[in-house]
Amino acid sequence: MAISRENLPQHVAIIMDGNGRWAKQRGLKRTEGHKVGAEVFRNIAKYCSDLGIKHVTFYAFSTENWKRSKTEVTAIMNLFRKYLDEMQRRAEENEEAGYNIRFIGSREGMPKDIVKLMDTVEERSKDKSNTYVNLAVNYGGRAEIVESVKSIAEKVKNGTLKIEDITEDTVSAGIYTAGQPDPDLIIRPSGEYRLSNFLLWQSAYAEIYIDDVLWPDYKPEDLDRALEAYAKRNRRFGGV
C-alpha cells in the first residue's frame, strides 16, 4: 500500500457506523449489516496493526444502543458472544500478532457470560504490546467521565487525595484508556457529523475525518484516504 508512513497517528479511533443502512440498501435485515461489520472490524484492525499504528479503538456498542429493538440488541450480543468465543479459540494467533485487547465501557448490564469471555481475552493478551486494540462495548463517554469522577471523590473522601491535587492527569488516570495516548484521529464512516458520546474526554484535540462509506463497505483504501488527509492536517493544540 502506498500510504505514507510519515505522520502516522499513534492512535486511531473508529466509529463503526452504517451497518443498518448498508443492510437496508440491500433489502436485508439490520442484523446482516452487523455481521458483515464485524468481519470488517477484523480486517481493519489487522490492517492498522500491519501499518504500525500502535493504538486503535473501535466503537462497537454505545450505552445508548440499548434503546434499539430487543431483536437487534440480542443479535448484536450474540455476535459479540460468537466473536469473543472465536477470539478465545484463536488466542494463539492473536498472541502471535501481539494484540493487546481491551474492552472499554461498562461491564454492568452486559450478559455475564460475555463479561467472562471479555475478561479471559483481556487476561490472555495483557502482556502483548505490538498493537493495543480497544473495543468499546457498552461504552459512553459521559459515563466514563462519571466513573473517573466517582473514583476521585472516593479518594478525597478517604483522605488519600487532596482536592488541590486534582489535575487533568487525575481524571485521565481514571478513564478506560488510562495510560494510552489520546486519539490523534477519529474516523466516522457513514456520513454523520457527530461523536455520539465517543471518547469525549480523550478527543479534545483529535482530528476528525468523516467518510460517506458505510462501515460494512469499509476497505483498507478508505483508511488510507483518512490517513493521507490526517497527514496533511496542521495540528496546533491552541498554539500558532
All three cell numbers of 79, joined, read: 455476535
Q: Which residues in 63-82 contact ligand IPE (CB under 6 A)?
A: 65, 76
Q: Hey, which residues are catalytic here? A: 17, 65
76 touches, from ligand IPE, Mg ion, none (C-beta below 5 to 8 Å by class): ligand IPE
151 touches, from ligand IPE, Mg ion, none (C-beta below 5 to 8 Å by class): none
**Where do the DSSP E strands lie in the chain?**
11-15, 55-62, 99-104, 131-139, 185-188, 207-210
Those residues with Cβ within 8 angstroms of residue 51's Cβ, 6 or more apart along the chain or in another chain:
1, 3, 5, 8, 227
61 touches, from ligand IPE, Mg ion, none (C-beta below 5 to 8 Å by class): ligand IPE
Dmax (CA) for the chain in angstroms is: 59
* Residue 107 near ligand IPE by CB under 6 A: no
Binding region for ligand IPE (CB under 6 A) out of 38-46, 55-63, 79-87, 100-108? 55-63
Nearer to ligand IPE, 8 or 62 (CB): 62
Nearer to ligand IPE, 17 or 184 (CB): 17
Distance separating alpha carbons of residues 174 and 149, to the nearest angstrom:
8
User: HSE-up of 176 (CA within 13 Å, CB side)?
Assistant: 28
Q: Which residues in 186-215 contact ligand IPE (CB under 6 A)?
A: 190, 192, 194, 196
CA dihedral 126, 142, 53, 219 (to 10 degrees): 110
Site track for Mg ion across 3-22, x = CB under 5 A: --------------x-----
* Residue 17 near ligand IPE by CB under 6 A: yes
* Residue 39 near ligand IPE by CB under 6 A: no
* Residue 218 near ligand IPE by CB under 6 A: no
Other C-beta atoms closer than 10 Å to the C-beta of 139 total: 25
The secondary element (H helix, E strand) that includes residue 116 is helix 112-125
* Residue 58 near ligand IPE by CB under 6 A: no
* Residue 211 near Mg ion by CB under 5 A: no
- On whether the CB atoms of residues 47 and 223 are closer than 8 A, the answer is yes
Taking the complex as a whole, how short is the minimal distance between the CB of residue 217 and Mg ion, in angstroms? 14
Helices 112-125 and 70-89, axial angle in degrees (round to 10): 30
From the list 49, 62, 94, 125, which residue makes contact with ligand IPE (rule: CB under 6 A)?
62
Residues lying near Mg ion in the complex (CB under 5 A): 17
